[in-house]
Structure formats: structure tokens, C-alpha cells
Amino acid sequence: MESEEYGQYFKEFEWPWYMPSREDYAKIVAASGFSSCNISEVNRDRFFSDADEMIRWIDQPSIVPFVRALPEGVREKFRDEVVRAMLDRTLQADGTCFETFRRIHVRADK
């Protein structure tokens, strides 16, 4: 997104997901009038069974908002570069792909 080749298309790009930190969640909960809350980070690391499974995950829904910001003529090349970079980073010796995931669980009482 920041490369010379693609950066021009992402100058006005708005990040498609809202992912607050634990601290931000605590502020949101407190400002919303809850009397108590428990905020925890949960490890949801994932092994994809093979490269094809990871590629399907990238194609839908992960890359969709980013590809939409690009003109038709560069979408496929961008997608292919993202897939190649992800596989380079995640592919394991046994053919699985490992990606780190974290979830934040919030439980609050009014």
C-alpha cells in the first residue's frame, strides 16, 4: 500500500476495520456507563491446512476492500503480490500456513 507502485491508489484509503486495543475498549466501556467489565485478549492463532486454504481466506474477505481501491488493470498483480508475501511469511515445512490472530473479548454489566 505504501509502495511507489500502489501508494497513489491508497492516499485517501480508509482502513476498513475498527480494531481497538484493550485500553481503548476499556475507555469505550467506561464512557458507556457500564458498572463493571472484563476485557481479555484471546489467542486464536490458526493453521490453514494448506496454501490453497490460506489463499481462499485472503481472497475473501481479507483483500476485498483493498482491491476495490485499485483500478482494474492493477488488481490482479496486487493480489498476486499479497498472496506471495503471505505465503513467504506463513508457509510451514509441512505445507500448512500459520497466521497469528488475536481476539478481544469484552463482558460488561450495566
Spans of the chain below 50 pLDDT: none
Using DSSP, state whether 27 is helix, strand or coil. helix
pTM to 2 decimals?
Answer: 0.80
| pLDDT for 35 | 85
List beta partners, residue 1. Answer: none
| pLDDT for 46 | 96
Cell numbers for 101: 490472530
**Distance, CA of 35 to CA of 47 (rounded, Å):** 38
Domain boundaries, the chain: 7-20+41-104
What proportion of the chain, given as a percentage, has pLDDT over 70? 100
Using DSSP, state whether 50 is helix, strand or coil. coil
List beta partners, residue 98. Answer: 47
Using DSSP, state whether 95 is helix, strand or coil. coil
Q: What tens digit of pLDDT does each residue of 46-78 get?
A: 999 999 999 999 999 889 999 999 999 999 999
**Distance, CA of 10 to CA of 85 (rounded, Å):** 19
